[in-house]
Amino acid sequence: MTIAENARIGDDALILQGARLGHAVRIGDRVILNPNCVIGADGFAFVTEQPSSVEIMRETLSDTTAGAPQSWTRLHSLGTVELGDDVEIGACSAIDRGTIRATIIGRGTKLDNHVHVGHNVTIGEDCMLCAQVGIAGSTRIGDRVVLAGQVGVNDNIFIGDDVVAGGASKIFTNVPAGRVVLGSPAVKMTTQMESYKALRRLPRLLRDIATLKKAAEKQGPPK
């Protein structure tokens, strides 16, 4: 266990073997930190002198990039991490400190093992993030949100209160409050299920089209 300088720990916190608390991290009362979790690692923030391949792709929506060499310069994170009361962080999970402001995990939120929360992320109260969830930087998540195992969340988006995301969903855009989403890209669960049903029917549909095509060829062109 490591607790860095100026870290503040609330009452009745349980910090288990191998947990790491970074500089100036603040955790509330009754927080549980499971083995080998890392709270307050430096955020994964880098810039390039010229527009990067990612920036070019986002601007042009091209299938290819310029391919010019690029070097990355690290932006050190000056912010911290704040965990509310009754938060639990699973084994081997990592919460990055904010670039300037804090990365925040709200009261009563629970993180499973191997969850990654990027820099500047804000997560509301009573959320549940299951194993291998990954949340990219500067995303905001409301209260009572449930992200099932292996859900991935894009950067700089907003997920409203009471959203539920099914396992392995990939969320690329904002999600309104109360919606249940599924799939990659994540869409309303009913839409995803209809798409899946249609996909399962596709082989039969192709066979039917081939049969009709053969019948039309035998019949020949209309007279």
| Cα-based angle 121, 24, 109 (whole degrees, multiple of 5) | 40
> Please, which residues have CB within 8 angstroms of residue 190's CB and are 6 or more apart in sequence?
none
Start-to-end CA span in the chain (Å):
86
Beta bridge partners of 146: 128, 164
> Which residue out of 23, 76, 114, 119 is catalytically annotated?
119
Q: Known catalytic residue: 114?
A: no
What is the C-alpha to C-alpha distance for residues 105 and 194, in angstroms, rounded to an integer? 35
* Cα(10)–Cα(180) distance, integer angstroms: 35
Interatomic CA distance for residues 49 and 177, integer angstroms: 38
- What angle is formed at CA 196 by the lines to CA 191 and CA 198, rounded to 5 degrees? 95
Q: Tokens for 150, please give them.
A: 């292996």
β partners of residue 181: 165, 188
C-alpha span between 32 and 108 (Å, rounded): 11
- Kindly list the catalytic residues: 119
